[in-house]
Amino acid sequence: MTRDNSYQAVMARKNEIMKSSMGIDYDVYRQGELAFDYERMMSDCGFSLDDIIKIQAETKVGNTPIFELRNLTEAVRKISAPGKGARIFLKDEAANASGSFKARRASISAYVAAKKGYKGVIAATSGNYGAAVASQAAQRGLKCIIVQEVFDSHGIGQPEIVEKGRKCEAFGAEVIKLSVGPELFYYLLLTLEETGFFNASLYTPFGIKGVESLGNEIAHQVKAIAGRFPDAIVVTHAGGGNLTGTARGLIGAGCDAKIVACSVDLNGLHMASDRDFNRKSFTTGHTGFGVPFATWPDRVDVPRNAARSMRYMDEYVLVNQGEVFYITELLAKMEGIERGPAGNTSVTGAVALAREMYRDQIIVVQETEYTGAGKHHNSQLAFARSMGIEVRRGDPTQGVNGKSIVIPETLAQVQGRKQDMEKLRLSYLKNAVKQCPIEKWSNVDFNFVAADIKKDVNWLHKNLESKSLQA
């Protein structure tokens, strides 16, 4: 009998496909209408931190260097109030095998796939994760397929995504290249079902566990250099796995540093829009992913997302495209480090935040990524111009997403903008109520939601009863 591979039929089989492609029965963790046993799900991976470190060392991942950006720190102090201007440190994750922190996530998935006897791995991603999965698969003797949104309807590929696809192929992966639209998840499910490969999703417990080593390293490396733990960690935020894993690693190391998310503000551009697809210069680390995933994590290719950023996030800062391009150039000219613009999102946020912190405080930029070819900031700006976007110098706040990129003329113009955390939490609550009416919530649901937004149950009840939530 021929299997029905229509869109509707494949989507209807998604839970069955997911279970067979990962070996995780998510139903066992369900506790209520909304609640599930998050910590049990994470611990059931069966990996201690020492296990993670050992696994990653086998495939050229982890133990990356950390640098104090002394020149950038001094430049920030010159434009800060007296006594202000925190020490800025940078964790250089470009030193991982595939050139980004995503190698930490991919390393555990590839290890599990090999150990469980899968012949290959599959991931749906347009980002650095595809290259990371391909790199780790190559080292574990696994086949690899990456499903990637590359083109708009005119067949024009965003140069950063094209470069990432090239790198996947360099590591031996097959890349299924799609145009932007709703087909990505469908093709992922269809390919998983047809091949029987392991689903190396970004959002499994394995992926998040892999990033915990990053937080642990930051805590201990800074303490070895400065004699104490850092005061704040700035994390480039998209789907939430980077922040979640890093924060869990820091907590495990006994470090209670403030966790600050940072995204590029792409307000006004729709991530699934064919027109907008090539009118943005950042394909990850932006608000198109950062805000939706923070305010409702379970919108992914697994039943329950292990990346739950609001559980750990203390602040959320937005920067614009022009500010990040400026800092990318400045990092090269001032610190002799040329890294990809997307990874420099958190550097930009750190510069803005360091101006508010005292000189004896320490702020850590949590990751970098490799650059080159389409990922280079000059390539990105040239592509923007080719798409009719104005690129000029001036006040970066005057840039209009999809129409203009305004690059600062001075470091003082790099400001960043803190977001209203209460508003984000209320947005999460609205999404939760859409998923399940309040009258169906049990105590376990209330406790779960409160933990998921880093508030207590009293705060939850107060805001669930407010008229603003019903608006």
Alpha helices, DSSP H, located in 264-396: 287-295, 321-335, 345-354, 377-386
Sheet holding 120-124, edge to edge: 174-179, 143-151, 120-124, 198-199
The mean pLDDT value for 16-31 works out to: 91
pLDDT at 14: 85
Lowest pLDDT segment from 84-93, 268-277, 363-372: 268-277
Q: What percent of the chain has pLDDT over 90?
A: 87
How far apart CA 293 and CA 458 sit, in angstroms, is 24
Residue in this structure with the two tokens 């360091």, named with its chain if needed:
354
Q: Is the pLDDT of residue 466 over 80?
A: no
Q: Is the CB of residue 331 less than 8 Å from the CB of residue 339?
A: yes
Residues 6 or more apart from 39 whose CB is under 8 A from it? none
Q: Is the pLDDT of residue 1 over 70?
A: no
How far apart CA 394 and CA 115 sit, in angstroms, is 54
**Nearest to 259, CA basis, from 269, 249, 267:** 249
Q: Look over the chain and give the mean of its residue pLDDT values, rounded to a whole number.
A: 95
Domain boundaries, the chain: 7-51+109-205, 61-99+207-418, 425-470
The mean pLDDT value for 390-395 works out to: 98
How large is the greatest C-alpha to C-alpha distance in the chain, in angstroms?
76
Residue in this structure with the two tokens 């290249």, named with its chain if needed:
177
Task: Tell me the per-residue pLDDT of 403-429, one tens digit each, with 9 for 90 and over.
Answer: 999 999 999 999 999 999 999 999 999
Alpha helices, DSSP H, located in 196-255: 205-226, 241-252
CB-neighbour burial class of residue 227 (10 A; exposed 0-12, middle 13-18, buried 19+):
exposed
Q: Is the pLDDT of residue 5 over 60?
A: yes
The domain defined by 7-51+109-205 folds into Rossmann fold (3.40.50)
Residues 6 or more apart from 182 whose CB is under 8 A from it? 272
Kind plus residue range of the DSSP H or E element containing 258? strand 258-264
How far apart CA 427 and CA 468 sit, in angstroms, is 10
Task: Tell me the per-residue pLDDT of 64-121, one tens digit each, with 9 for 90 and over.
Answer: 999 999 999 999 999 999 999 999 999 999 999 999 999 999 999 999 999 999 999 9
Strand partners, 259: 233
The mean pLDDT value for 47-70 works out to: 98
Decide if 7-51+109-205 and 61-99+207-418 have a common fold: yes
pLDDT at 289: 92
Q: Which amino acid is at 134?
A: A
Cβ neighbours, 10 Å, residue 154: 9
Q: How confident is the model at residue 468 (pLDDT cuts 50, 70, 90)?
A: low
Q: Is the pLDDT of residue 436 over 60?
A: yes
Q: What's domain 61-99+207-418's architecture?
A: 3-Layer(aba) Sandwich (3.40)
How far apart CA 29 and CA 422 sit, in angstroms, is 28
pLDDT at 213: 98
**Nearest to 217, CA basis, from 86, 91, 343:** 91
Report field, pTM of the whole predicted structure over 0.85: yes
CA 333 and chain centroid, separation: 27
For residue 345, give both structure tokens. 């999102």
pLDDT at 41: 96
Q: Is the pLDDT of residue 132 over 80?
A: yes
Q: Is the CB of residue 170 less than 8 Å from the CB of residue 178?
A: no
pLDDT at 229: 98
Q: Is the pLDDT of residue 471 over 60?
A: no
Q: Is 324 helix (H, G, I), strand (E, B) or coil?
A: helix
Q: Is the CB of residue 279 less than 8 Å from the CB of residue 389?
A: yes
pLDDT at 300: 85
Q: Which amino acid is at 264?
A: V
Task: Tell me the per-residue pLDDT of 182-202, one tens digit each, with 9 for 90 and over.
Answer: 788 899 999 999 999 999 999
pLDDT at 470: 54
CA 300 and chain centroid, separation: 13
